[in-house]
Amino acid sequence: MDCPTEERLIRARLEPMPEVESLAFNLLERTLTLRHSDGALPAIMRVLTDIGFAPDSLGETAANAGDATAGHAPAIDAAAIETGSRVLGYLRMLVAGLCAAGAELLDLIGSDLDVLVLMLAVAAIALSGLATYQKGWVAVRHLDFNINALMSIAVTGAMLIGEWPEAAMVMLLFTLAEMIESRSLRHARNAIRELMALAPDTAAVRGEEGQWQTVAVDVVTLNQIIRVRPGEKIPLDGEIVRGSASVNQAPVTGESLPVEKDVGDRVFAGTLNQTGLLEIRVTALAHDSTIARIIHAVEVAQSERAPAQRFIDRFSRVYTPVVMALAVATALFMPLALGWEWLDAIYRALVLLVIACPCALVISTPITVVSGLTVAARHGVLVKGGLYLELGRTLDVMAFDKTGTLTEGLPSVTNVQLLSDVPRTQAIEFAASLAGHSDHPVSQAVARFARAQAAPGTSMAVSQFESVTGRGVRGQLQGQECVLGNHRLIHEMGLCSPALEAAFERIEKQGQTALLLLCSGRPWALFSIADRLKAHSRRALEQLADLGVHTLVLSGDNAYTVAGIAEQLGVKDARGNLLPEQKLDVLRELKNRYSTVGMVGDGINDAPAMAGAQISFAMGAAGTDTALETADVALMDDNLAKLSWFIRLSRATGRHLIQNIGLALGIKLLVMLLAVSGGATLWMAVFADMGASLLVVFNGLRLLKFNQIEGE
């Protein structure tokens, strides 16, 4: 099942069944996912078998695999059977080829051995085309004219008008081309499955008595300790509790260089431990690991229709009936209207029937889109669907969050200015106790500063805690109402005196963020906080500018700080003091001026703006659980240079899509014109149909080699 005409045949039989709730087709993977009522599966299987699609249950395959893992040999060696069947098929095609070639040779010589020519041709057709005839008969019986039905009609017609050698050679070429196409598509499917093989199937787990035992990763539970030796792949997501090592994270993040990992650092399933012995506490089950979620996202993305794919599907529904109607008109009306010979008219109609199948058109888009999605995942760029892969090439403006996206996201306290007679240690304790309840990078900077100062009360109890989005935090400590907030919050509370205004402005003009601690309405201390640009931020934005993409910075930080960061980046459009909903307003404004707007953020705080963009990007998705769910494109590491790489990949994908559609349509149109004018043969029609399919497959697979980070 790899053609939309076949999909429509299955839908026509299954959708009317009340037991069937939903159908989801993946033609590239040749899978059908069914939702049905209890006990309906046997009836569904019978229907599929009746229409020529005897199904294999993936669930049963998985169960057999489970038995094998448990020590029970499966009843059937599926791989051995598949290999044997393939070898038998090659031998059958070899004999069929010899028979077809013999029939052609004898016919060209013009000998009197017509019976031998007929026998060789029939043998070639039977050996190479029996499966095609079987599928074609089922399709014709259900009035579904797929490639098997059209080819069966064409070959039968050629035999009826006495073109036995050509009928044999056409069937042989068609079957041979289908085998080559199937092998090529298998290569595309294997590109996806390579992702699934990244993580090991087993893990060395520490038992209750301290012994190590190897078990399947599916049975490992949270917080168990696993051991990974040098040279082994890490089987599950976790946190290092003992040891240090250099870890190659390329399969997950696409990073080209290994990363040094120590106690407390996160590691991901499918990455390679290169140097040291590690003991790791499991933090995610096998089905919920980062690599498992990447694989799931890629599978979902490749099963969804991209815009070009939806267009081709709609086009094919019109194209096939129109060409078939043209074939019927050629056979029946041209002899009457233009005086053509009947056999000549029928022959031309048969050529049109062969070229009527839209398979080359239909397969031209998914093979390209899936190749693009796969190569992106290999490089640590997770794209949620063909829609976003196609949309990337049209991006003309990109908005960036500041903290954690363009900057390190680990700001530090540079100064503490006391504003009352409260001891410095007490001010730091109170500020850190409030900040410790927030996950905002600026609040976390205060908490880290307190820990570094060894302040003893950083975990004192806070009651009635409240986080004021984009402004700060508040709560009660030791009976006092305390606030740790930015300039905006203090101003909104009506507590910003001329002296405080001057202090805020002085800090902000230095490109730093200021947080004020107030308790019982009195200012206690003013904290100066600074963040550093990521090393590759400026170069990444320059690369976007080279591609013609306008950039701007949006931040909840004060305008002076944002302007200072923007100046370092060479960005002219920078906007500060923005709440999450105000960022969304900016995105709406941009949509009125630009065709495609993108938003880059690093967390849940940017979710409104990311949702408002036509395409959103999440930074460092390998480190957060929410990023994979919120963004359309997830950069698994913090490398902003991959934004321009993604746009180049999207543009390359667009070129391949246009080339494939143009190839398929152009070749078919040319042969149709030749067929009507009498200049095309059945051979040419088969070469045109299957040749176009092979060309678009090979052209789509070329994307798997796309690797240009700096340019094409």
**Which among 2, 107, 313, 401 is annotated as catalytic?**
401
Q: Are 11 and 20 spatial neighbours (Cβ–Cβ below 8 Å)? A: no
Q: Which residue has the tokens 């990007």?
A: 617
List, in order, residues 6 or more apart from 56 with CB less than 8 Å away.
none
Which tokens hold the place of 674? 């030749």
Q: Would you say the C-alpha torsion 125, 130, 134, 136 has a positive or negative sign?
A: negative
521: left (phi over 0), alpha (psi -120 to 50) or beta: left
- The total number of residues shown for the chain amounts to 712
Cα gap 146→128, rounded to integer Å = 18
E-assigned strands of 347-459? Answer: 381-383, 397-401, 412-418
**Catalytic site residue 396?**
no
List, in order, residues 6 or more apart from 548 with CB less than 8 Å away.
396
3-state secondary structure of 513: strand
Cα gap 453→449, rounded to integer Å = 6
Cα gap 5→359, rounded to integer Å = 9
Q: Report phi then psi at 527, rounded to 5.
A: -100, 130
Q: Are 700 and 184 spatial neighbours (Cβ–Cβ below 8 Å)? A: no
List, in order, residues 6 or more apart from 113 with CB less than 8 Å away.
106
Which tokens hold the place of 380? 């640590």
The amino acid sitting at 466 is: E
Other Cβ atoms less than 10 A from the Cβ of 625: the count is 11
Residues annotated as catalytic are 401
